[in-house]
Chain A
Amino acid sequence: MNWQLARPWRVVFGIGMATLVMCFFSCSSHDTKFQQYFSQGQSLYEKHCSNCHQKNGEGLKRLYPPLANSDFFKKNLPTSICIMKYGIAGEMKVNGVNFNKPMPGVPSLTELELAEIATYIANSWGAEEGRTTIEQVTEALKSCKTQ
């Protein structure tokens, strides 16, 4: 018996393998980048944010608003990125509850770090919104009121 496949089969086989390999690489590179952002984001979150917003993202009563399932964060990603860097003061509503305590920003956060923190928040505590990119952060920072 001939060990070689018939020519049409060889083509099919080749294309199949190539697709598999490409798929593997694109999926895994997406995954590793996501994982990197997520785990960096987690340690940055625990360093700069969880004092107030808590490790479980639930906030503290009407003093510190929740980030877990926050309608504000979901609807206002660019504004939320501005808040992280520059802080915010004044009244705001999160999930129907009024908050009004100034939040100090962390101006030293880089665009990459902001993307990582946003990725962590957007994919924690039940949410799965995918990765926030640096391009999104650059764009968001242009819109910040306080610079």
Chain B
Amino acid sequence: MKKEFFAITFIVGVLLLAGCSTKPARLPFFGERTFNGKDTLYHTIAPFQFIDQDSVAITNATFKDKIYVADFFFTSCRTICPIMKTQMLRVYEATQNMPDVLILSHTIDPEYDTVALLHDYANRLDVKSSRWHFVTGAKDSIFKIAQTSYFATAMEDKTEPDGFIHSGAFLLIDKKGRLRGKYDGAREEDVNRLIGDIKILRQE
């Protein structure tokens, strides 16, 4: 009796330890999932069309078979956006040699952030438009996609110092348009985790 008890405890212990030490091999899926009788279907980013700093139309097709990191910002913001851009620049540099990884920054102030302004902004950041798209479009579509597709907060609020409330989230999207990670773009450690997760996602 006693022996068996020890044996079982031992096995359970080993299993628990093994479970702890193996890294999650797969990144999680965010959002609702449905089962169509054969496969599980995951939440995907809704169809969109925006215009980037080179006046090129950017749609879901731009990111076909690409991993991308998305965020929401505006150029005149003085609070967290400059920190987010400093951190996103780290992502840009860390993925320099990964042709299947892109970045998509949406302005939430399209009235002020025109194509010309975004062009100048990207230029001053010294980044290539083929790898990092800064997009503008109809304000409602941007707010809507932020909230319903990326689960990021973005809205106007005249009582805020900058006139908007928005989260500093960085969102990680896989090659099939599925949301696979959410990070605080103002925190260096979180962005380190994002850079690690991009590498995991590339193995899928």
Tell me whether A63 and B121 are in contact (CB under 8 A).
Answer: yes
Q: Give min CB distance, B97 to chain A, whole Å.
A: 20
A133 within 8 A of B: no
Tell me the nearest residue of chain A to B79, going by C-beta. A51
Q: Is B82 an interface residue (CB 8 A)?
A: yes
Interface bits A77-106 vs B (CB < 8 Å: 1, else 0): 000000000000000000000011110100
Minimum C-beta distance from A47 to chain B (A): 11
Q: Is the interface of A mostly helix, strand, loop or mixed?
A: loop
Give bound CA distance, A99 to B120, whole Å: 11
A49 to chain B, nearest CB (A): 10
* In the complex, B43 has a CB within 8 A of chain A: no
Q: Which chain A residues numbered 57 to 88 have a C-beta less than 8 Å away from chain B?
A: 60-64
A62 lies within 8 A of B124 (CB)? yes
Residue pair A52, B124 in contact (C-beta under 8 Å): no
Which residues of the other chain, A, contact B85 by a CB distance below 8 angstroms?
Answer: 60, 63
> Cβ of A40 < 8 Å from any Cβ of B?
no
B67-116, CB < 8 A from A: 75-76, 78-80, 82-83, 85-86, 89
Q: From known contacts A60-B89, A63-B85, A63-B121, infer whether A52 and B126 are also in contact, taking CB-CB under 8 Å.
A: no
Assembly CA distance A52 to B79 (angstroms): 9
Cβ A54 vs Cβ B86 within 8 A: yes
Q: Are A104 and B86 in touch, CB under 8 angstroms?
A: no
Find the A residue at minimum CB distance from B80: A51
Q: Are A51 and B126 in contact (CB under 8 A)?
A: no
Task: Check A61 against B82 for contact (C-beta < 8 Å).
Answer: no
- Could you tell me which A residues sit within 8 Å of B by CB distance? 51-52, 54, 60-64, 99-102, 104
A57 nearest CB across to chain B (Å):
13
Q: Are B78 and A64 in contact (CB under 8 A)?
A: no
Contact B80 A61, beta carbon cutoff 8 Å: no
Which residues from B are CB-within-8-Å of A54? 86
> Do A51 and B78 have beta carbons less than 8 Å apart?
yes
Nearest 7 CB-CB pairs, A to B?
A62-B124, A51-B82, A63-B124, A52-B82, A61-B126, A61-B125, A104-B78
Contact flag A102-B124 (CB < 8 Å), given A51-B83, A60-B85, A60-B86: no
Complex CA distance for A7 and B32, rounded to whole angstroms: 96
Interface centre among B120, B121, B124, by most chain A C-beta atoms within 10 angstroms, is B124
- Compute how far the CA of A99 lies from the CA of B83 in the bound complex, rounded to whole angstroms: 18
With a CB–CB cut-off of 8 A, which chain A residues contact B79? 51
CA gap between A100 and B117 in the complex, in Å: 11
A100 to B120, CA, bound (A): 9
Q: How far is the CB of A9 from chain B (nearest CB, A)?
A: 64
Question: Besides A51-B80, A51-B82, A63-B85, 11 other CB < 8 A contacts?
Answer: A52-B78, A60-B82, A60-B85, A60-B86, A60-B89, A62-B124, A62-B126, A63-B125, A64-B82, A101-B75, A101-B124
Q: How far is the CA of A51 from the CA of B86 in the complex (A)?
A: 9
| Residues of chain A lying within 8 A (CB to CB) of residue B123 | 62
Residue of B nearest to A54 (CB): B86
